[in-house]
Structure 1
């Protein structure tokens, strides 16, 4: 397991992560730092705990919005899949009906002979 030191709000935190995930963890720390900087710009200096809490809330809000968006995309995709399956079902029914008519026609010709 790798150890990496990230800096958030001027404080260093040593955290463990899977080998090879160090850069990803640094990038996530940068996102947190950017949100804390945004809070600092909006509301001035606050204590570290307050900044981290507000930064966490901003990230949670962003995550919630993304989850809602993903759910709406999944619903749209489900509707598209349903329409596609209904169309495929109709096409298959037409082919079966056509095949049944041909079979009946052939059977009728065989009965006439």
Structure 2
């Protein structure tokens, strides 16, 4: 079993993977790191878990758009390329705030 240490948002994370998949895992982590760095560039104080959550949400949004485009292409529909939403990171930050607020109320007895 292979193991690599990846850096995301300035934090190191040891991760195991199948032998031979180390370079692929490093490449995936670099994609997550790009999203996390774009969130950090907005300013504000975010903890490690929140940065990774927001980065994951950005990636999930991209995957969703690609799945929709693929389904449309398979159905023979021509779809316009999705336009990036510059407010997406801000919206995701607000969503994360709401999630954290809910999580805090669940932690209370």
Question: What is the TM-score of this pair, normalised by structure 2?
Answer: 0.66
Unaligned runs of 5+ in 2: 78-109
Matches within 5 A, 1:30-109: 30-76=30-76
User: 1:12 offset after TM fit, Å?
Assistant: 1.2
- Conserved in 1, the CA contact under 8 Å of 2:4 and 2:22? yes
Unaligned runs of 5+ in 1: 78-113
Whose radius of gyration is greater, 1 or 2? 1
Higher relative contact order (CA 8 A, sep 6+): 2
Q: What count of residue pairs does the alignment treat as equivalent?
A: 77
Question: What is the TM-score of this pair, normalised by structure 1?
Answer: 0.64
Of 68-77 and 25-34, deviating more is 68-77
More helix by share: 1
